[in-house]
Chains A and B, each alone.
Chain A
Amino acid sequence: MSAAPIRAAFVQAFREAWAGGAGVLLPASFFAGAAMLVPFAVGSDSAQLAAIGGGVLWVALALASLVTMERLFQADLEDGALDLWVQADAPLSAIAAAKVAAHWLVSGLPLALLSPLLGLMLQMEPDRLPSAMLAYGIGGLAFFLWGAFGAALSATVRRGGLLIALIALPFYVPTAIFGAMSLQAEVPLPLIETLFLSAATLFSLAVAPFGIAAALRLAAD
């Protein structure tokens, strides 16, 4: 076993994100745009926005994680990278985890870093923004892992975007629940809720890579 294929998949995924030109900007813009639509839909009342702002960002994060998923493994399937991964001298689950981690660093983490600004615009309390940012970072990783599982399962399906959402959304429920709980906690820096959220993400980290690997073997056949 060697670590080289894992590292290569990580670096390649990282480079590809920038090669297209858009990189971080596209998912971040989608995240901001989806959040911006909400005040138009529910009204400009500040108290109401303050009550739902954090939750709106969770929904926007979930949608943003899904929007970027369709091409995640399809490109690797088309250019033959997937066949090389399957034959590589490293566990496919580890390669898949590296690929998802790189994808999250480019398309998920920047959204969490952007969340304080959007939170302020949606009238969230300023002293909650740091812990909310942490929660969006941790929870976003779980979204990306399950989104990648859906993407791997539907890698051979043409226009599988909606299918990915349908498969992945039930798996988003625990993270959405614990994420929302951390926003509604009594204290601005909720320890217990953050631990629950982290537990859901760690669980995803333990299970999803093996599901992704099994699905990628199917796609490569």
Chain B
Amino acid sequence: MAILSAFANPHRFMALSKALLPWLGVSAAVLIAYSIWQGLYVLPPETYQGDSARIMIVHVPAAWLSMSAYMGMALASLVWFVWRHEIADVAAKSIAAFGAGYTAICLATGAIWGKPTWGTWFQWDDARMVSVLVLFFVYVGYIALRAAMDTRQKAARAGAILAMVGAINVPIIKFSVDIWASLHQDASVIRLDGPAMSADYLVPLLLGALGHTLLFTALVLVAMRAEVRLRRADALLMRRMVGA
């Protein structure tokens, strides 16, 4: 708990994030540039899917971030709900926006990938696609709820309740979607996990995933810093209005 309280101090957060941001940004840019260069120019076409498989360099990191961002958001909500550390709420709010963004990227790249390989933009038989679509709506509901609340404190509290109840529900939703998709397996879906992915792709993919995770962290930190400044400015304005 001592660690949590240490990070809950906004001044320490601002100092730490300021020091971290350049490192995060540069390493993210290098890793993402490397993975895209490998994916587009260096790697041979994939054995079964040809050139279209190159999109996985972006698609797989986006899929990984869409899910882990929700976990991060729910965790930050729990920390806020229990200890009322303001920074935890700032984190949950900032993560939601970029989590929804990466979920949208995952859906869009999945559709672009699905068209040449499966012959369709969206495949309802595929449990992963449908799960990510539902997850997108969970993010949208969270953002809309926060936006509808008239005070920041209420937005934090309502958002935390929704994120935590959602975290309990997401495994159930995932399980039901998996069962549902397994009923329609007769459709000629090319399973990704069927033929083993060629090993050439693994290293750029992992480095790309690391790069996007660092980029995500950097973006969230920038948004959090802006939010902390906004709240501080509001507090100063309030103090001036009161006349103290």
Contact = CB atoms under 8 A, between A and B. Distances in A.
Given A157-B149, A167-B141, A218-B154, A173 B176 contact: yes
Interface stretch (B56-64, B164-172, B220-228): B164-172
> What size tier do the contact residues of chain A reach?
20 to 34
A153 B180 contact: no
B29 to A, nearest CB: 34
B150 interface: yes
Nearest to B158: A153
B140 interface: yes
Contact of B169 (A153, A160, A171, A196): A171
B150 A173 contact: no
Contact of A170 (B138, B145, B157, B161): B138
A169 interface: yes
Range of interface residues on chain B? 20 to 34
Nearest to B142: A167
Contacts of B179: 177, 181, 196
A156 B144 contact: no
Interface stretch (A64-72, A97-105, A207-215): A207-215
A154 interface: yes
B15 interface: no
Interface string A178-206: 10110010000000000010001001000
Nearest to A165: B141
Nearest to B168: A207
Interface in B133-185: 134, 137-138, 140-141, 144-145, 148-150, 154, 157-158, 161-162, 165-166, 168-169, 172-173, 175-177, 179-180, 183
B180 A181 contact: yes
Contacts of B154: 156, 218, 221
A46 B55 CA distance: 44
User: Which 4 interchain pairs have the tightest Cβ spacing?
Assistant: A174-B176, A211-B165, A177-B180, A167-B141
Given A170-B141, A173-B173, 8 more contacts: A157-B149, A166-B140, A166-B141, A169-B141, A177-B176, A211-B165, A218-B154, A218-B157
Interface of B: 134, 137-138, 140-141, 144-145, 148-150, 154, 157-158, 161-162, 165-166, 168-169, 172-173, 175-177, 179-180, 183
